[in-house]
Chains A and B, each alone.
Chain A
């Protein structure tokens, strides 16, 4: 389990994190969404034990991360900007990790070569960006991490690669209860990957939700009447949003599906559709006043 409690971090006068807290259960895939400069990378680097927080606590399975060898052996961090030693081939890099990680799984490393299909004697720095990222996953997963921390892992990858990487992550989560922390500036990217989402804005995680709950509890209702919209229809306590397009009205309502349907059907509409919401729609309606921050994330 990953826990961050009230973590703050400044770089000079820049306050990157302001008392951010988060909790990730074992085996879950937690997505951190935030615009550029929201503090995503800082938070991930603190969780990976690269940076030390100024204030607050970071615990992984109950122990601190910074300078803690035993904890860090369980973590793999794949940064946004990858680094490989200039003259090293994939095999050289593997040798490096092999010597450092006692958990290194040689069989797995060998096995992956059929998946990635990159010549292991090639210099890593001479490979394309996408291939370098594959190498990073190859090496990281070969150390059998319990926790995988990924900073913008899908950024700049082609759709085929995205699918490949997502599959790798999901397989490990399913097979080994891998805990994954993944950041993105794009909410949509994480939709089909994460079971939890946290939104980081100006150094603070102001919203954390389990996706299934969210989807279950929020509904988009399309409704049309013969005459005017009955006034009473608005009396439902959890209407988050209402919009009228000609004769059709659109509602976003929170609540159990059954209750919501019952409420609208009592007014005997001509048409009543219950539509699924996309993740970003959910956030926009959920956030209300703070929705602007989410809109920003979707706009990209």
Chain B
């Protein structure tokens, strides 16, 4: 008796399969196209394949790129829409609901039919891929376990999507609403978070959405759509915890679909939302999202508060009317605008709250004695993230001395006090603070500040030893690990290679000393460095993940036998001690460009409209004397001066004997020789 009202009904299942077998057949054909067929097509290419090209068969999810993911994304939802099609039309729902079957039976029967339609194509494709593997001897490229992983993941994700769409179908009354709402809600965890955080970022000074988005929340794991694409592109396969989560979701969604079906009224067909209590949620949800989206758009385009308010109002009004039109299935919705005004008032209150900073977020500064340690750095969230990840791995340092913490707090205070001044600047740089408090809490703020502002506050901080140890990777290098140091001057082919262990030790010690001695002004001057310094470290295998070492550029090189991690530093012109050491040890000649490497140089005025004109055709002076060339090299700037107008900048180009350009840079006016000869 119990089974009769609960178990799936064979008649319904067979009828579903009879009506919708075309879904299964199409799905099978599509999958056969994206997998077994592609395998055959790649087999022919195997002979042409050179060694450095990676395995053409892996990951199996990458075949036909996004196409495969697109199918996995679309077919299950389509299946759910078709299986529940009868629910969304009055005549068909009456016919089916007059049958002597409970809704539990109907729902579970559709689930069985849908599962068969989605499962069999995958299993068949998997089987064929395995046959191919055996037939073409492809065991070296992929194994049965890869196929199993592919099939398992595909089934898991498509079943989750199918049951999710089925559940959405139970709460919506039209197939269109079912399809649209399925994808919208699938994106909602990420979409709404991004929208809210991006808006708060605009409303709260110092708030940075990225910090909350990527800070361990792992939103992509809640969005199967994003997760699915990662399978193909990043080879980020499902973790066992995710597999459990998907299995759990499948069971949960099945239960929810049954509950919703039991509560659903037959007469809900053709209404957008089948449950009355969901209608306001839908209405204000749409209103809220369109408001945030439109507001953000005007923030980004106009960068103006009043425009943003305009955007919030227009967006919310549009969303509200749209939702009303959908719910009432009528364009006569103006009468319901009274509730919109109430909504608008609440939102105005919220906005005023943000503007007045009622929670004190913008003004919040920790008392110095509560700060355990802090990070301060130019750059935004990703710079901070690299520091933090690095700090976790190799214990990079932070600022802990009370005196320094106080100075940072003073700088931070000054920034908060001058909010309006900061916001009205023309060009910006980013400055990020992260305080780790003794109670375990972290206060993170990031600001866009006018170029070259707050120097007097920053100078003592940036010159502190603690700051330098935190920021510069040279302090984290173990000299014993470094195989060789290469000085590579720009523009010319010579270089100094140092492999002597004692010399390597000495250079690293000197570089540390130079960095510690550097003044704030020297840190940020525009002088072109003499050379790039490469610190070569032997590593097991080059891995791109290691590239993000904080405070330094890094690259990888492999000579076929050994792999190196290379840290890039600069031989700045004020590193006099280093210069002297290089001279003493005889590396100096090769470590920098010398007047004898240069045939002549040409100085021209920098004019915007003539930037692409060959400098030889522009009026200017030529420098040929070695002492003058040396003087020019000494004063060479890496970029034009921003403090003077473009017309007052001088460009200098160095040529070799063959008239080839080897190096170019800028000079300050006072450093241009023979100015009178112009």
Which of A's residues lie within 8 Å of B, judged by CB?
11, 45, 48-52, 67, 69-73, 75-77, 79, 81-83, 85, 87, 92, 96, 98-101
With A52-B265, A100-B12, A100-B100 as known contacts, state yes or no: A67 contacts B5, CB within 8 Å: yes
By secondary structure, the B interface counts as helix
User: Nearest Cβ distance between residue B543 and chain A, in whole angstroms?
Assistant: 57
Query: Of residues A51, A70, A100, which shows the largest number of chain B Cβ atoms within 10 Å of its Cβ?
Result: A100
User: Nearest Cβ distance between residue B98 and chain A, in whole angstroms?
Assistant: 4
Bound form: Cα–Cα A49–B266 in Å: 10
B90 neighbours in A (Cβ, 8 Å):
81
A-B contact pairs, 12 of them (CB 8 A): A48-B98, A50-B93, A69-B105, A75-B100, A77-B94, A81-B91, A81-B94, A83-B91, A85-B15, A98-B11, A100-B100, A100-B101
B102 within 8 A of A: yes
Name the one of B10, B97, B105 contacting A50, with C-beta atoms under 8 angstroms: B97
With A100-B9, A100-B100 as known contacts, state yes or no: A85 contacts B94, CB within 8 Å: no
Please determine whether B101 and A96 come into contact, CB atoms closer than 8 angstroms: no
A48 neighbours in B (Cβ, 8 Å):
98
Bound form: Cα–Cα A92–B17 in Å: 13
Number of residue pairs across A and B with beta carbons under 8 Å?
72
User: Nearest Cβ distance between residue A12 and chain B, in whole angstroms?
Assistant: 8
A100 neighbours in B (Cβ, 8 Å):
9, 11-12, 99-101
Bound form: Cα–Cα A87–B16 in Å: 12
A69 neighbours in B (Cβ, 8 Å):
4-5, 100-102, 105
B4 neighbours in A (Cβ, 8 Å):
69-70
Bound form: Cα–Cα A209–B25 in Å: 58
Please determine whether B267 and A11 come into contact, CB atoms closer than 8 angstroms: yes
Please determine whether B98 and A77 come into contact, CB atoms closer than 8 angstroms: yes
Name the one of A49, A76, A92, A101 contacting B97, with C-beta atoms under 8 angstroms: A49
Chain A to chain B: the 3 pairs with minimum beta-carbon distance, closest first: A99-B11, A72-B100, A83-B91
User: Nearest Cβ distance between residue B80 and chain A, in whole angstroms?
Assistant: 18
Please determine whether A73 and B266 come into contact, CB atoms closer than 8 angstroms: no
Bound form: Cα–Cα A101–B100 in Å: 7
Please determine whether B94 and A45 come into contact, CB atoms closer than 8 angstroms: yes
Name the one of A11, A82, A92 contacting B18, with C-beta atoms under 8 angstroms: A92
B537 within 8 A of A: no
Please determine whether A85 and B100 come into contact, CB atoms closer than 8 angstroms: no
Bound form: Cα–Cα A72–B102 in Å: 10
B94 neighbours in A (Cβ, 8 Å):
45, 50, 77, 79, 81, 83
Query: Of residues A45, A83, A85, which shows the largest number of chain B Cβ atoms within 10 Å of its Cβ?
Result: A83
Please determine whether A72 and B98 come into contact, CB atoms closer than 8 angstroms: yes
B89 neighbours in A (Cβ, 8 Å):
83
B102 neighbours in A (Cβ, 8 Å):
67, 69
Bound form: Cα–Cα A75–B9 in Å: 18
Bound form: Cα–Cα A82–B266 in Å: 16
User: Nearest Cβ distance between residue B627 and chain A, in whole angstroms?
Assistant: 94
B103 within 8 A of A: yes
Q: Give the nearest-CB partner of B10 in chain A.
A: A99
Please determine whether A99 and B14 come into contact, CB atoms closer than 8 angstroms: yes
Chain B, 65-99, contact with A by CB distance < 8 Å: what is the 0/1 string?
00000000000000000000000011111110111
B557 within 8 A of A: no
A51 neighbours in B (Cβ, 8 Å):
265-267
A98 neighbours in B (Cβ, 8 Å):
11
B19 within 8 A of A: yes
With A96-B11, A99-B14 as known contacts, state yes or no: A72 contacts B267, CB within 8 Å: no
Bound form: Cα–Cα A51–B97 in Å: 9
User: Nearest Cβ distance between residue A58 and chain B, in whole angstroms?
Assistant: 14
Bound form: Cα–Cα A128–B32 in Å: 42
Bound form: Cα–Cα A116–B98 in Å: 24
User: Nearest Cβ distance between residue A55 and chain B, in whole angstroms?
Assistant: 14
Chain B, 109-151, contact with A by CB distance < 8 Å: what is the 0/1 string?
0000000000000000000000000000000000000000000
Q: Give the nearest-CB partner of B96 in chain A.
A: A83
Chain B, 635-667, contact with A by CB distance < 8 Å: what is the 0/1 string?
000000000000000000000000000000000
A87 neighbours in B (Cβ, 8 Å):
19
Known: A50-B94, A69-B102, A70-B4. 5 other contacts (CB 8 A): A67-B103, A77-B94, A83-B95, A99-B14, A100-B99
Q: Give the nearest-CB partner of A84 in chain B.
A: B95
Please determine whether B99 and A72 come into contact, CB atoms closer than 8 angstroms: yes
Bound form: Cα–Cα A69–B1 in Å: 9
Q: Give the nearest-CB partner of B105 in chain A.
A: A69
Identify which of residues 1-59 in chain B touch chain A, using a CB-to-CB cut-off of 8 Å: 4-5, 9-12, 14-15, 18-19
Query: Of residues B4, B12, B15, which shows the largest number of chain A Cβ atoms within 10 Å of its Cβ?
Result: B15
With A51-B267, A87-B19 as known contacts, state yes or no: A79 contacts B95, CB within 8 Å: yes
Name the one of B5, B91, B99 contacting A79, with C-beta atoms under 8 angstroms: B91
A67 neighbours in B (Cβ, 8 Å):
5, 102-103, 262
User: Nearest Cβ distance between residue B266 and chain A, in whole angstroms?
Assistant: 5
Bound form: Cα–Cα A51–B265 in Å: 7
Bound form: Cα–Cα A280–B267 in Å: 33
Bound form: Cα–Cα A11–B267 in Å: 8
Bound form: Cα–Cα A72–B90 in Å: 19
Q: Give the nearest-CB partner of A102 in chain B.
A: B100
Please determine whether A73 and B100 come into contact, CB atoms closer than 8 angstroms: yes
Bound form: Cα–Cα A163–B3 in Å: 42
User: Nearest Cβ distance between residue A247 and chain B, in whole angstroms?
Assistant: 57
Bound form: Cα–Cα A99–B13 in Å: 10
Chain B, 453-468, contact with A by CB distance < 8 Å: what is the 0/1 string?
0000000000000000
Bound form: Cα–Cα A72–B99 in Å: 7
Bound form: Cα–Cα A98–B265 in Å: 27
Bound form: Cα–Cα A51–B100 in Å: 14
Query: Of residues B5, B100, B266, which shows the largest number of chain A Cβ atoms within 10 Å of its Cβ?
Result: B100
Query: Of residues A49, A50, A99, A101, which shows the largest number of chain B Cβ atoms within 10 Å of its Cβ?
Result: A50
Please determine whether A49 and B101 come into contact, CB atoms closer than 8 angstroms: no
A79 neighbours in B (Cβ, 8 Å):
91, 94-95, 98
Q: Give the nearest-CB partner of A73 in chain B.
A: B100
Q: Give the nearest-CB partner of A151 in chain B.
A: B94
With A79-B91, A92-B18, A99-B11 as known contacts, state yes or no: A50 contacts B98, CB within 8 Å: yes
Q: Give the nearest-CB partner of B97 in chain A.
A: A50
A82 neighbours in B (Cβ, 8 Å):
91, 95
B98 neighbours in A (Cβ, 8 Å):
48-50, 72, 75-77, 79
B97 neighbours in A (Cβ, 8 Å):
49-50
Query: Of residues B98, B101, B102, B103, which shows the largest number of chain A Cβ atoms within 10 Å of its Cβ?
Result: B98
Name the one of A71, A83, A96, A101 contacting B15, with C-beta atoms under 8 angstroms: A96
Bound form: Cα–Cα A67–B267 in Å: 15
Q: Give the nearest-CB partner of B90 in chain A.
A: A81
A11 neighbours in B (Cβ, 8 Å):
267
B92 neighbours in A (Cβ, 8 Å):
83
